[in-house]
Amino acid sequence: MIQEKLKRDLAELASTLDGKLLRLEELPIDRKLTRFLLSRNLLKTKPALTKSFLRTRCMRCGNETPRKFAEIPCQKCNKAHFYCRNCMDMGRLMECDVLYYWNGPSAVWSKQKNPCSWEGTLTRAQEKAALRIKEAITNREKEILTWAVCGAGKTEMLFPGISKALEEGMRICLATPRADVVRELKPRLEKAFRHIPIQALYGGSKDKHKQAQLIIATTHQLLRYEKAFDVMIIDEVDAFPFHADPALPFAQKRSAKRNCTTIYLTATPREDLKAEIRRGKLTHVFVPVRYHGHPLPVPKLKMWHSLNKELPKLQSSNPLLYWLLNRQNPKRQLLVFVPTVERAGQLKTPLTNLMLKHKLIHHPNQLGSVHASDPDRERKVVSFREKTLKVILTTTILERGVTFPSVDVAILDAGHDVFDEAALVQIAGRAGRNSNDPTGEVLFFHDGKTEAMLAAIYAIKQMNKRGGF
């Protein structure tokens, strides 16, 4: 009897702790149990920072850059220690800190029967990719890239593969760069896998201590895992910050189990991935058509000579106004992208006044602006979705991950450095997302063409061509 109970308790603990790498304060068990598990070698520790002759390394985020460490006087040890400045938002780690990991029997996850409760159907293009992804999981392939245009319906394409993994008793993590996207995906996956416990992890989420076979997380949260997942789905693999922060690829690699299958998703692969595809080093499946079967809107370039001089005030007649007055479908909502937060702040009032004057909006509250550190971002996006906001003035923060049914898109100063090829393709991909309004206008206002603009238009046309248009 006691043996049985012990076994059950151990299994329970394993499913809570196996695959995690945590600070003492993060352990979901009390101190007494922690001490007991440590004494039985079921829980082990390793130093948070390692120091060798030449370099210091953070064992949580992999940081080795000297300037990303600093010194702090430690009260406990009475001397100065290094601490890692790179992963501080998950709690400061210094030299005398340790990270805890499970050393008992591995967690066993259920082999779920008929886990998928989704009743929709996939288009032919989606199905082809879905089957390929499922095959990759079945065969335990190391990695596969799914290159699907904006609006291809990539989440649904994952369902057969996720089902297969759940049937096999695998643990799955879907990682995406933005918390917004985690919040959006959670209800969709809960509907599609009604009986499967799903955990959503992002900074500030309340799901932290649950244990689930299927996890949706911001890529950042992977820093708390080690050898945890059989299947990893890395969404928007080209996106900031996954692309920019070396800690994230490090965490991704570490949180994978040895036989893990990694599925990368992107609409705009960076040059390095494309090169790997060309060299035959990276298997990929391409989805060139949107789920509704219509081609991608091709952006139009609009020259605006004195753009940088005229933008701050927006007084006289200008190319933007001319377009605004002559849109094909004036009922569509409007996304206006600008390169910087300063520009958004500067333009808000003049653009509101201009649109009021020409009766394009009827109240100043119909135009809102958002940026990355805007505390009201979530609410404004909801108002736009509910159509109380007609126009959003935004930085690149809304370039991906968010979907609105019927919008036109304009970029002001499309020649700015922040608008690289991937950003431009993503922004253009905001238009024509819904089958009720599958087209939409995309305008790049600029004061001189850039490589990026031309490359983006070329890429979009190429994809349409591959899609048979």
Partner 1 sequence: MNCLWCEEERSRHIGWKNFLNLMNPYELCDSCVSNLIFLYETPSRCTKCSRESEEKICFDCIRWEKQMQDDPLLFNYSIFPYNLFMQEIIAKWKYRGDYVLGELFRPYIRAAFSKKFGKKKKELIAVPIPLSEKRMDERGFNQAEMLAHFLPLETKTAFIRIDSEKQSKRNRRERITAKNPFSLIEKINTPVLLVDDIYTTGTTLRHAAGRLKEHGCPSVYALTLIRG
- Interacting residues toward partner 1 by CB under 8 A: 67, 70-75, 83, 85, 88-89, 92, 94
Residue 131 contacts residue 250 (beta carbons within 8 Å): no
Q: Where does residue 53 rank: exposed (0-12), middle (13-18), buried (19+ CB within 10 A)?
A: exposed
Which partner from the list Zn ion, partner 1, none does 61 bind, CB cut-off 5 to 8 Å by kind? Zn ion
Say whether 135 sits in a helix, a strand or coil: helix
Distance CA 235, CA 176 (A): 5
Establish if 13 lies at the interface with Zn ion (CB under 5 A): no
Closer residue to partner 1 in complex, CB, 139/373: 373
Judged by beta carbon, residue 22 or residue 198, the one nearer partner 1 is: 22
Sole binder of Zn ion in the list 37, 49, 61, 196 (CB under 5 A): 61
Q: Which stretch binds Zn ion (CB under 5 A): 33-41, 77-85, 320-328, 389-397?
A: 77-85
Q: Are 204 and 244 in contact (CB under 8 A)?
A: no
Q: How far is the CB of 87 from Zn ion (least distance, A)?
A: 3
DSSP letter string over 216-259? EEEGGGGGGBSS-EEEEEETTTTSTTTTT-THHHHHHHHHEEEE
Secondary-structure breakdown of the chain: helix, strand, coil percentages, each rounded to the nearest 5: 35, 20, 40
Of 61-69, 190-198, 330-338, 441-449, which segment contacts Zn ion by CB under 5 A? 61-69
In angstroms, the CA 335 to CA 342 distance is 17
E strand or H helix at 189 = helix 179-192
**What are the phi and psi torsion angles at 461 (to 5°)?**
-65, -40
Q: Which one of partner 1, Zn ion, none is in contact with 301 (Cβ closer than 5 to 8 A by kind)? A: none
The one of Zn ion, partner 1, none whose footprint includes residue 317, by CB under 5 to 8 A per kind, is: none
- Of the residues 56, 63, 352, 366, which one makes contact with Zn ion according to CB under 5 A: 63
Shortest approach of partner 1 to residue 181 CB, angstroms? 24
Q: Are strands 214-218 and 172-176 parallel, antiparallel or unpaired?
A: parallel
Q: Are 141 and 283 in contact (CB under 8 A)?
A: yes
Nearer to partner 1 among residue 71 and residue 378 (C-beta)? 71
Near Zn ion by CB under 5 A: residue from 10, 11, 74, 321: 74
Nearest alpha carbon to residue 352 among 373, 338, 366, 339: 366
Q: Within 286-345, which residues bind Zn ion (CB under 5 A)?
A: none
Beta bridge partners of 94: 83
- Nearer to partner 1 by Cβ, of 27 and 285: the residue is 27
Q: Does 86 bind Zn ion (CB under 5 A)?
A: yes
> Who's near 135: CB < 8 A, 6+ residues apart?
141
Residue 56 binds Zn ion, judged by CB under 5 A: no
Q: Closest distance between partner 1 and the C-beta of residue 69, in Å?
A: 9
Q: How far is the CB of 327 from partner 1 (least distance, A)?
A: 36
Structure token pair of residue 38: 């440590």
Q: Which does 150 bind (CB under 5 to 8 A by kind): partner 1, Zn ion, none?
A: none
Binding map of Zn ion across residues 88-117, x = CB under 5 A, - = no contact:
--------x---------------------
Using the minimum distance from each CB to Zn ion, give the nearer residue, 74 or 356. Answer: 74
User: Binding residue for Zn ion (CB under 5 A) from 14, 17, 21, 87?
Assistant: 87
Smallest distance, Å, CB 270 to Zn ion?
25
Q: Residue 77 touches which of partner 1, Zn ion, none (CB < 5 to 8 A by kind)?
A: Zn ion
Rg (CA), the chain: 25
Task: Tell me whether residue 60 or residue 164 sits nearer to partner 1 (CB atom).
Answer: 60
C-beta closer to Zn ion: residue 3 or 373 = 373
268-282 b/e (C-beta count within 10 Å ≥ 16 → b)? bbeeebeebbeeeeb
- According to DSSP, the residues that pair with 79 across neighbouring strands are 74
Distance separating alpha carbons of residues 216 and 229, to the nearest angstrom: 12
Please state the closest distance from residue 61 (CB atom) to Zn ion, in A. 3
Alpha-helical runs (H) found in 97-167: 124-138, 154-167
Spatial distance between the Cα atoms of 147 and 168, rounded to a whole number of angstroms: 26
Residue 417 Cβ vs Zn ion, minimum distance, rounded to whole Å: 18
- 426 with 285: CB under 8 angstroms? no
Rounded alpha-carbon distances, angstroms, from residue 357 to 54, 214, 408: 65, 52, 20
Applying the rule CB under 5 A, the residues between 192 and 221 that interact with Zn ion are none
Q: Which stretch binds Zn ion (CB under 5 A): 71-79, 360-368, 384-392, 435-443?
A: 71-79
- Measured from the CB of residue 65, what is the shortest distance to partner 1 in angstroms? 10
Question: In this complex, which beta carbon is closest to partner 1, that of residue 228 or of residue 248?
Answer: 248
Residue 22 found at the interface with Zn ion (CB under 5 A) = no
The listed partner (Zn ion, partner 1, none) that binds 92, CB under 5 to 8 Å by sort, is: partner 1
Applying CB under 5 A, which residues contact Zn ion?
A: 58, 60-61, 63, 74, 76-77, 84, 86-87, 96
